[in-house]
Structure formats: C-alpha cells, structure tokens
C-alpha cells in the first residue's frame, strides 16, 4: 500500500488531523545462522520493504492499533497493558511499550495504523520490524528522538523475550534498527560491537525465495536447539574458560569435540563454531568484492544447517538444491530460523528471470505448490519518513 493510500485509510479510521509516518524494514541474514545466541558473528542487512506506520498523538492514555493486513483492531490503556492471546499481532508493540515504560521513557495515547509488505511467517522478521517501528515512534513522538539506537533495539528484543515469550537473539531487531542502504552489518552478538561493509554485488542481485511453507518461530524447535547448544557449552567449559561456543576457533573446537559424547549435541556445537568462521570470511569477501567466494560460503552454510543443525526441512532443501542447479546462481542457502520460511540466492542479473521460472517449475513439481520470489535491494533502518 502506498503512503498516500495509507494516510487516507488512517483518516477513515481516526478522522482528520496531523499524521506522522514511519517505515521499518524487514531483514535478511546473509550468513551466520543460529549463532546469535551462541555469541557468534552474524551478517544481516535491512531489506527495502517492510512495515509502514501512520500515527497521531491522542489527548488521553488510550492506544488504538489497526492494520491493513489483518481485520483485528485493538485498544489498550497505557497504564494497564497485559499480554492477551486474542490481541495477536498487537502483542509485539504492546511488549515494546511495557519495556520502554520500565526504563522510564515517556509515552501517551496514540492512534496507529500499520501496513506491512513483509510476507507473514516467511522468516524475514515481520515481528521485529513492527517492534522497532513502535520503539522509534515512541522515541520520536514522546522522547525527542534522543534514545540511543542500540539501547532501543535491545529493548525490542527484551519485549519479544519477556512479553511475547519468544527466546530470540538480538540480530533481527539490530539489523532493522541499525540498517544502512547498500551495507551489511557484521555484528558480534556477544559484545554488540558492529561494523558495516559495502555490499556491491556487481552484476548480481539477491533473490529471496519464499518456500511458502509458513513458519511459526515459537512452535518450532528453536528453544530445543538453544538448549542443545547450552549443553555443549557446559561440557566444553570443563576444559576451557569460555562464555559462548563461538569464542572457540575451529582448531580449538576440533581438539575438544571428543568431549561431547552425544552426536546430536556435538553436531549443533560444530555448526555454531564453523558458521561463525564462515561469517567472518564472508565479511572479508564482500569487502574485497569477491562475490563468487561469498556465494560458495552461502552454500556451505546451508549444508551445515541441513546436516549438522538439522533445521532446514524438505521445502528449504528443495528450493536451495533447485536454485544451485540453475545457470547464473553463485550460491544459495536457507535464511532465518528454518523449518520453512525463506532462502536467499545470489544470481546474475541477466539470468534472474530464467532462474525464477526454472526454480518455480521444479519446486512445484516436487513440493506440489509454487514458491514466491522477492528481489530486494538493501535498505535503510527504521525511521520517520
């Protein structure tokens, strides 16, 4: 939906008056999967599509939430916010309000209309996009836009952990809040130190491939994988003083992996340590402009997520393997938590149309329904328009 249409919709709902407009992107993680909670490096970027929000202050303490994507409308009182299953998507912004109030930030009544073009359940972070949108709105409307951006994204993560009950890492909110046009962020999830790198794919582009198998994060095996990694960490801590699996180099892990007797636990830890190394290499290759080597690392990442971490599934494995067969594809992998959702591929610009046609056909023949494709540039982080 265009901003003009969104404002018209807002006026229909809430009447005439001043309207402020904000945009919060989706995100895709180029590489570094399932290691944010293991203290590793991730390499995400903001997408150029996401969630728009129109907002107006009210004179009272009521907040009205509405969305063009869902019929559900929710009204809450700022001074009495509780989690409610019936409030569905509105629980994400509600959680942000709670966390920001705990920190003593000002907040008052608002009318809000949001409209997202991130496919829901695709694993491109529609929930984090909405959370950071809410935090930036509160910062700009009631706190003079003075909040430290890193603190703001941390509050959004807390909201998802504590209020919604999803044990997510910091990466999604960080990429969305801190994103910059045409740049990826190398983020150390242990220390929150970060640096940007230019993403110049030359005559290639990022194609996001949606398996159209919906993924619900808090129903997936996400918490189980975290527990397995924590078990591996406890075992390795008996020999070496570390706080997170990704503090180990590949060599250090190889020398110690015999300590982990259970195969599944050993495989999870191995993925974390090796994926962390791949992420640092990927950052280097992007800075050097070596897109072919970068593409090869994406494919290795997928193999590891499939074989060691076991979070891909038939749909993601199919879409990645079919992508890699097509001329002009330099690399592909699942992205996000897995068990459905999206993959990404680096594809030569001249081959994109053929690539999409061939993958669509072959995927449909194997899985029974078509995937969707999104061509995205790398966009700006959340802000007022």
What tens digit of pLDDT does each residue of 165-212 get?
A: 987 788 999 999 999 999 999 999 889 999 999 999 999 999 999 999
* CA 244 – CA 39 distance, rounded (Å): 5
* CA 78 – CA 160 distance, rounded (Å): 18
pTM over 0.85: yes
- Check whether 216 has a pLDDT greater than 80: no
**What per-residue confidence (pLDDT) applies to 220?**
60
Task: Name the residue ranges covered by the structural domains of the chain.
Answer: 3-198
pLDDT tens by residue, 246-275: 999 999 999 999 999 999 999 999 999 999
The residue from 36, 111, 172, 188 that is catalytic is 172
Least confident span in 91-95, 99-103, 292-296, 376-380: 376-380
The DSSP line for 104-140 is T-----EEEEEEE-SPTTSSS-HHHHHHHHHHHHHHH
Cβ pair 185, 43 in contact under 8 A = yes
pLDDT tens by residue, 19-52: 999 999 999 999 999 998 899 999 999 999 999 9
pLDDT class of 317 with cuts at 50, 70, 90: very high
Report the CATH number of the 3-198 domain. 3.30.230.10
* CA 268 – CA 219 distance, rounded (Å): 19
**What per-residue confidence (pLDDT) applies to 174?**
96
172 has catalytic annotation: yes
Q: Kindly state the percentage of the chain with pLDDT values over 70.
A: 97
Determine the number of helices (DSSP H) and then strands (DSSP E) in the chain: 11, 13
**What per-residue confidence (pLDDT) applies to 125?**
81
Q: Who has greater pLDDT, 265 or 218?
A: 265
- Check whether 139 has a pLDDT greater than 90: yes
187 Cβ contact partners less than 8 Å away, ≥ 6 residues apart: 41, 42, 43, 44, 170, 171, 174, 175, 193, 194
- Check whether 122 has a pLDDT greater than 90: no
**What per-residue confidence (pLDDT) applies to 217?**
52
Tokens 């067969």 belong to: 325
Query: In 3-state terms, the chain is what percent helix, strand and coil (to 5)?
Result: 45, 20, 30
Across 134-160, average pLDDT:
97
Exposure b/e, 321-333, CB count within 10 A at least 16 = b: bbbbebebbbbbb
**What per-residue confidence (pLDDT) applies to 223?**
82
- Output the average pLDDT for the chain: 95
**What per-residue confidence (pLDDT) applies to 124?**
79
**What per-residue confidence (pLDDT) applies to 219?**
53
Across 111-138, average pLDDT:
90
Across 138-144, average pLDDT:
98
């Amino acid at each position: 939906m265009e901003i003009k249409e969104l404002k018209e919709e807002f006026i229909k709902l809430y009447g005439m008056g001043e309207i402020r407009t904000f945009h919060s992107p989706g995100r895709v993680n180029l590489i570094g999967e399932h290691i944010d909670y293991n203290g590793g490096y991730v390499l995400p970027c903001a997408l150029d599509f996401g969630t728009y929000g129109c907002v107006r202050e009210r004179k009272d303490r009521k907040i009205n939430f509405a969305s063009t994507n869902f019929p559900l409308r929710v009204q809450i009182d700022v001074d009495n916010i509780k989690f409610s299953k019936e409030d569905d998507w509105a629980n994400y912004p509600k959680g942000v309000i709670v966390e920001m109030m705990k920190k003593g930030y000002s907040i008052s009544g608002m009318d809000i209309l949001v409209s997202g073009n991130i496919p829901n359940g695709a694993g491109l972070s529609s929930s984090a996009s909405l959370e950071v949108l809410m935090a930036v709105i509160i910062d700009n409307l009631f706190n003079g836009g003075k909040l430290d951006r890193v603190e703001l994204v941390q509050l959004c993560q807390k909201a998802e952990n504590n209020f919604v009950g999803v044990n997510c890492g910091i990466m999604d909110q960080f990429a969305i809040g801190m994103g910059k046009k045409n740049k990826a962020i190398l983020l150390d999830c242990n220390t929150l130190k970060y640096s940007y790198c230019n993403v110049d794919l030359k005559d290639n582009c990022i194609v996001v491939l949606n398996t159209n198998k919906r993924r619900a994060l808090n129903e997936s095996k996400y918490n189980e994988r975290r527990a397995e990694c924590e078990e591996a960490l406890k075992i390795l801590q008996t020999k070496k003083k570390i706080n997170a699996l990704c503090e180990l180099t590949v060599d250090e892990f190889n020398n110690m992996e015999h300590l982990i007797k259970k195969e599944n636990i050993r495989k999870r830890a191995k993925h974390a340590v090796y994926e962390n190394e791949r992420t640092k290499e990927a950052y280097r290759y992007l800075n050097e402009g070596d897109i072919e080597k970068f593409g090869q690392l994406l494919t290795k990442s997928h193999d590891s997520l499939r074989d060691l971490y076991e979070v891909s599934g038939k749909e993601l494995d199919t879409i990645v393997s079919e992508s890699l067969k097509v001329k002009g594809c330099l690399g592909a992998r699942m992205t996000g938590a897995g068990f459905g959702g999206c993959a990404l591929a680096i594809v030569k610009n001249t081959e994109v149309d053929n690539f999409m046609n061939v993958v669509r056909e072959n995927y449909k023949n194997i899985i029974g329904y078509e995937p969707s494709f999104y061509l995205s540039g790398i966009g700006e982080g959340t802000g007022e328009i």
